[in-house]
């Protein structure tokens, strides 16, 4: 259990720092890339939450994965309707 905590505390600051820098860069330079960037960060964070437990098909992990996929699909829908069709 302590190995999981030791590894996990490294990921969260890296993700937060890359999120802030990426968000500032993308909103100033390429606004249409913000949602895919945030979606990729969400998928990475979800993977890092689910992976250490090795129990991929538990109810809690399936809910996490489905919620992440739902948010990514909504972001993709928004991306397509606003920037491609609009």
pLDDT in tens, 28-80: 776 677 777 778 888 888 888 888 777 888 898 888 888 888 888 888 888 78
Determine the average pLDDT of the residues in 9-27. 74
* Rounded Cα distance, 72 and 66, in Å: 10
> Which residues, at least 6 apart from 38, have a Cβ–Cβ distance to it below 8 Å?
19, 23, 75
* Rounded Cα distance, 31 and 78, in Å: 13
* Rounded Cα distance, 36 and 74, in Å: 11
> 0.85 cut: is pTM over it?
no
Domain boundaries, the chain: 2-85
Q: Evaluate whether 35 touches 72 at the Cβ level (below 8 Å).
A: no
Q: In 3D, which of 2, 10, 4 has the Cα closest to residue 52? A: 4
């Amino acid at each position: 259990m302590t190995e999981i905590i030791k590894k996990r505390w490294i990921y969260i600051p890296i993700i937060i720092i890359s999120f802030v820098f990426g968000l500032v860069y993308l909103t100033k330079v390429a606004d249409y890339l913000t949602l895919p960037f945030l979606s990729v960060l969400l998928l990475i964070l979800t993977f890092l939450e689910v992976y250490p437990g090795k129990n991929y098909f538990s109810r809690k992990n399936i809910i996490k994965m489905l919620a992440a996929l739902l948010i990514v699909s909504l972001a993709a829908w928004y991306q397509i309707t606003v920037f491609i069709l609009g």
